[in-house]
Structure 1
Amino acid sequence: MAGHENNRHPSPAEATAVPDSLPPLPPAFEALLHAVIPPPWQAQALASYTTAKDVVFRLNPLRLQDRAAAMQALAALPVQPVPGVSDVFRLPPRARTALTHHSLVADGSLYIQGIASMAAVWALQPQPHEEVLDLAAAPGGKTALMAACMDNRGRIAAVEPVRARFFRLKANLQRLGVRNTQLYLKDGRQVGRLVPQRFDRVLLDAPCSSEAQITRLDPRSWAHWSQRKVRASAQVQAGLLASAADALKPGGVLVYSTCSLSPEENECVLDVLLRHRDDLQPEPAPWPCPLPAVPGLTEWAGQTLHPGLVHARRIIPTEWTDAFFLCRLRKRSPGS
């Protein structure tokens, strides 16, 4: 699903389970891991499914009044800065409850958000003067980070089709001090047709099969996952991606991302678009934080894919990162 900044994490009781007693991952999912994660990363990736993950959070400049005071308020917690990025930190899993109930979270000065979710916004690089589209915006963590990057200037159009998620998005953005965003309760697949070539940048963090939420600590986490779910997600993603491309201005930047590892939801969806449109080209994405990631695939299931997909990145699940995929695309200007 889109908007996975605050995925469910195991309780302390679940986190202390003995790994050998845990149920195995679905065979099809484990086969996927072996197929898309290079051997040097596989042991660490597989181990990440048996323990609770570190908590990652960022300070929110749209609400934060006094950074020094905020850091003092967090002094009792074992906070570690994430290298390469300012005001992003991680904590061990045992500190999750204390952080979740902290006053800085309640007043919006601090937001708990997976580092991969932040990476999608860093790849997009929204600027203060621009008009930006967030095509599947709930619950709003990426929208709020974009607003922070833009210093609450310019304009963000945040689209969400599900009513309950739309109102959660609205409440989150209000709490986080976002003021440059207009919200639309709408199917994102319609947007490109309604406002073609309008936006300087587009973020599509697409609804997906939610493979990043799978954990051996809770068999319920894969209750609804199947290869049929992957295929159904890919159909929705293709429609949203075509809409996102239509809504983008020539010269603009589109970032496509999912919390899925399956190539069918990632490279294969992009490959279909790129083979039907010659005005879009993958390009390297800014990568300020040393995230464990590997290049996108240019071949899958015997099919050769667009060579530019080597610029995509698949983030490896580890003790502090969730599974994630992102690709940055540039729309060519006419005649270029």
Structure 2
Amino acid sequence: MDRPASDALPPLPAAFTALLDAVIPAEHRPMVEASYVEPKDVVVRHNPLHGTPLALAERALGALGAEPLPGVEGVWRVPAAARAALTHHPLVGQGALAIQGAASQAAVWALDPKPGEEILDLAAAPGGKTALIAARMGNRGRIAAVEPLRARFFRLKANLQRLGVTCAQLYLKDGTQVGRLVPQRFERVLLDAPCSSEAQFTRLDPASWAHWSPRKVRASAALQARLLRSAVQALKPGGVLVYSTCSLSPEENELVLDALLRQRDDLALEALPWPCPLPAVAGLGAWQGRPLHPDLRLARRVLPSRWTDAFFIARLRKAG
């Protein structure tokens, strides 16, 4: 069945369109607009913890028309038309393949975990990033995976078991309290913070923004600030913290970090060590006429495209 023409689809909320006007450079706007009116390609990765050989995964995905992402081994882009076939593929059900967006994976690429380290995943459910951290560590070391909501906690547990993660210890706990309980404990911390979920928007389904509002953005930012302070407290001197959201709003991204950087002089942003080129732009240097911390230009806002979702990623180093 043909998709409806874009002018026949419901428009995005006016406040969100104004946000796009403010944060998306003009040269990228056609790509971003198109991403809201067409099904996206699916990104999937090989899970080395499962034991299925990479070559077998390559053959299975080749039959679905998959193309490898440049610069990163074992990650492919599958055409949108093959989404259902991929979702129901036995290798996905078994955990040999994991469907995971490129921007979501990029948060772990930025964290750059190493075998033997002790790592905190402060908002871990549903577990995709936790599992990728474990894969990068070869299940050697320890991951403390924290989730405060019971239903999401058990979903996290089930997903990690299916994906063969054995180095994670799970905690049903409020992440804002973790830094106080275990100060300066972890060599790396990932905070993929709860957010207003702007990455989910599509004009093909108006329900995707039914619960979004500027008020929700502000509420998300307040929680993110508390979680970020906890993450910094839990990080060892010399350690790396990655802060990410699936939001485009500066209130949830640059402004949260700007407040933190102006409160502490032991934190600095670093360039992101990404192996794969993503459609992204630098963090903002100012917002609504207000200058922001100059380090924020090192952050990246991943743009919505045919194969990527909206995302924001920043990597910070705590002074030794």
Q: What's the TM-score once normalised by structure 2's chain length?
A: 0.98
Which residue pairs with 2:164 in the alignment? 177
Report which stretch shifted further, 302-311 or 178-187: 302-311
1:109 aligns with 2:81: no
The alpha-carbon deviation at position 152 of structure 1 amounts to: 0.2
Which residue pairs with 1:197 in the alignment? 184
Distance (Å, rounded) in 2 between the aligned partners of 1:94 and 1:17: 16
Which of 310, 314, 326 is 2:297 aligned to?
310
1:274 aligns with 2:258: no
Which residue pairs with 2:125 in the alignment? 138
1:61 aligns with 2:48: yes
Q: Deviations over 1:279-308 (max 9, x none)?
A: 111111101101011000121012111110
1:93 aligns with 2:46: no
Write the letter of the residue equivalent to 2:246. Answer: C
Distance (Å, rounded) in 1 between the aligned partners of 2:162 and 2:273: 28
DSSP-derived class of the 1:133 partner: strand
DSSP-derived class of the 1:74 partner: helix
1:321 aligns with 2:308: yes
Write the letter of the residue equivalent to 2:136. Answer: C
Q: Deviations over 1:298-321 (max 9, x none)?
A: 210121111100100000101100
Distance (Å, rounded) in 1 between the aligned partners of 2:57 and 2:209: 37
* Aligned ranges 1:18-167 → 2 under 5 Å: 18-167=5-154
The alpha-carbon deviation at position 66 of structure 1 amounts to: 2.1
Distance (Å, rounded) in 2 between the aligned partners of 1:326 and 1:73: 32
Q: Deviations over 1:41-87 (max 9, x none)?
A: 01110111011100000000000322222322333210100101001
DSSP-derived class of the 2:190 partner: strand
Distance (Å, rounded) in 1 between the aligned partners of 2:32 and 2:10: 16
Distance (Å, rounded) in 2 between the aligned partners of 1:149 and 1:34: 37
DSSP-derived class of the 2:189 partner: strand
Which of 223, 243, 268 is 2:230 aligned to?
243
Distance (Å, rounded) in 2 between the aligned partners of 1:124 and 1:141: 14
Q: Deviations over 1:235-254 (max 9, x none)?
A: 00000000000000000000
Structure 2: runs of 5+ lacking an equivalent: none
Distance (Å, rounded) in 2 between the aligned partners of 1:207 and 1:73: 34
Q: Percent identity?
A: 70
Distance (Å, rounded) in 2 between the aligned partners of 1:224 and 1:65: 40
Instruction: Check the 8 A contact 2:54/2:74 in 1, yes or no.
Output: no
The alpha-carbon deviation at position 91 of structure 1 amounts to: 1.1
Could you say what the CA RMSD is over the residues aligned between the two structures, in angstroms? 0.9
Distance (Å, rounded) in 2 between the aligned partners of 1:144 and 1:264: 29
1:233 aligns with 2:233: no
The alpha-carbon deviation at position 20 of structure 1 amounts to: 1.9
Structure 1: runs of 5+ lacking an equivalent: 1-12
Write the letter of the residue equivalent to 2:220. Answer: S
1:208 aligns with 2:195: yes
DSSP-derived class of the 2:276 partner: coil
DSSP-derived class of the 1:68 partner: helix
Q: Deviations over 1:79-122 (max 9, x none)?
A: 10010100100111110000000000011000000000000000
DSSP-derived class of the 2:242 partner: strand
Which residue pairs with 2:285 in the alignment? 298
